[in-house]
Structures are given as structure tokens and as C-alpha cells.
Amino acid sequence: MLLGTSRAVKTLCTTLFGLSFGLSIQTCVSQAATMNPIKTATTAYSYDFANEVDVELVLAVDISQSMDTEEQEVQRAGYISALTSKEFLEAIQLGPIGKIAVTYMEWGGVDEHFIVADWTIIENLQTAESFVSLIAEAPLRQVQRTSISSALKKSVDLVQDNQYTSLRQVVDISGDGPNNQGGSVTEVRDRLLSTGVVINGLPLMMKANTNTWQAMLNLDHYYEDCVIGGPGSFAIPVRSQEGFADAIRMKLVMEIAGLTFPKSYVQKVSMREPIRCNMFD
């Protein structure tokens, strides 16, 4: 009964998002709070309530060679701004439990993963500022290759190996190019989706006007067809440095509130040529 009701709330959430972004968060999260199965758990469960959160969120951030220093700085500043924004913190506080667990990982080629900010509970501005200070103070890195498949595997490992319990686990992966190392990205993605994780994407297309291969690839379509997956998964392309922070903030609020785009906002894959996901694998 609870699961059916939860689906109904998500449907309502999607409809309201098209009418009023703020209203959808307020309505959906407050209604979901009244039907959270964790709240009805009995003492028979041996959960550590201190480690219960609404969402476990992995922020997996591309630092491959195609990301120059300026873009990396814009990317970090965008995450710092979004993670401390009023909208993001309100979405957290309106959740059934009122807190999330988040980690920030930078990635490049196979097995090139750098945990910049380890798992932390964010529930208010103070905890958010403490988390983003780790991001702001870390040195910038740059690596050679782009292994989305390896980054996805590491992200799911981070979810499975932490001490937190939640109703939703989300991997938020950003990047400015296709998978070019580490095997088939779609095979890895499909295998990982069986764990219940949702994979959302942030394709970075800020060089699409000057970078021929990136423009030709339609990176947003690549992420839609080859990278993201799971119930309600979505990708938000970033087409300019000026729009970076806004795109991240919108994406994080949607992930925390459990929102999805209305169907009328989403381009159907059948309306265009599907991407050949293995063209660079």
C-alpha cells in the first residue's frame, strides 16, 4: 500500500513541476513525509536511526584532460553554489527525514577516482558549508582518459559500502565527452541498475560551438541513450559557463525532492536517431 501511494505522489510531483517548481517541492515532499515506511518501523528493526537519510547521493565529476582549468573552476564553483543554495537546503529540510548523505568524487580514466569530500550528512547550511569547504580547498587535478563505465562502478561501490540507509540512491555523473576506456558503458550501466541505483547525467556542452566532435556527437543524446538509467532518471545539458550553477542547482533539487520532468518536456528517443553507444568504447 505504501509503495502504491508513493508512486501516486511521484506522479503528482511530475504534474505540479510543470506548473510551479516551488509548489511541487512543497507539496510532494510534505505528502511523502506522511507515508515514509521508516517512520512506521518497529523496534524489531536494528537500524541505526542516526544513519537514516532520505537520499544517498554520489556527485561524480569529470576531470579528464578535455576539461581545462577554467572549466574545472567553473564546475567546482557551480557545485559549491548549488550545495549551499536556499532551494537545495529547503528541499532537504522538507524531506521525510530531513537530511541526505552525499560524497563528491572526481574521476577520469579506469580506476582514476579521487574522493574530494567523503560521505557527509547535510541537513542545514552549517553542514553544507562544512562539506563544500573540502571541495573548495582541494587542489585541481587533470587526468588523461574518460572512463564513464569505471566511474559508474566506483560510484555504486561507494553507495553499497557506506553506513547509511535510505529509500533512494542516486549517482549524479557529469562529463564533457563519451566513454573511451574501460569497456562498454551500456553493459556496465545496465548491470549497475539492478542494484536499484538511479543514474542521472549532467552533459557539459560548453564547447559545442567550437569543438567539432562534441557538437557532432550530441553529447546530451549520448547521455540520454548510453549513460543515465533507472526510474525517473534524467539528464540536464549545460551549454554555457553562465548557466552551469543554475543547471546543477535545478538538478540537485529535483534529485533530493524525487521530482522528474513532465513527459511533455522530455524528447522521445524515437523522434531522433539513437546514438551508437559503443562508438568510442
- For 156-191, b/e burial (b = at least 16 CB within 10 A) is bebbeebebbbbbbbbbbbbbbbbbbbeebbebbee
Query: Do 64 and 190 reside in the same domain of the chain?
Result: yes
Amino acid at 204: L
pLDDT of residue 212: 53
Report the domain count for the chain: 2
pLDDT for residue 46: 54
Residue 278, in any domain of the structure? no
Same domain, 5 and 92: no
What's residue 41's pLDDT? 41
Q: What are phi and psi of 64, to 5 degrees?
A: -70, 170
Within 10 angstroms of residue 203's Cβ, the number of other Cβ atoms is: 29
Q: How many angstroms separate the Cα of 55 from the Cα of each of 98, 120, 143, 233?
A: 10, 12, 30, 14
Number of helices (H) and strands (E), helices first, in the chain? 10, 5
Indicate whether 73 belongs to any domain.
yes
Per-residue pLDDT at 8: 39
Supply φ then ψ for residue 18, to 5 degrees.
Answer: -70, -20
Check whether residue 141 and residue 110 sit in a common domain: yes
Q: Domain range holding 149? A: 50-257
Domain assignment of residue 14, yes or no: yes
Residues 11 and 94 in one domain: no
In a domain, 266, yes or no: no
The answer to whether 213 touches 179, Cβ cutoff 8 Å, is no
Q: Is residue 98 part of a domain?
A: yes
133 lies in the same domain as 231: yes
CATH assignment of the domain containing 211? 3.40.50.410
Q: Do 147 and 31 share a structural domain? A: no
111 and 164, same domain (yes or no): yes
Judge if 138 and 211 occupy the same domain. Answer: yes
* pLDDT per 10-residue tile (average), the chain, 281 residues: 39 38 40 42 58 97 86 91 97 96 95 96 98 96 90 97 96 92 94 96 80 67 95 92 90 89 52 83 72
65 with 133, same domain: the answer is yes
Q: Does residue 62 sit in the same domain as residue 102?
A: yes
DSSP state of 208: T
> Do 34 and 54 sit in the same domain of this protein?
no
- pLDDT number for residue 76: 93
101 shares a domain with 24 = no
275 within domain boundaries:
no
Task: Find, among 103, 113, 191, 102, the residue nearest to 147 by Cα.
Answer: 113
Q: Is residue 227 part of a domain?
A: yes
With respect to residue 277, please indicate whether it lies within any of the assigned structural domains: no
Q: Of 197, 215, 196, which Cα lies nearest the Cα of 205?
A: 215
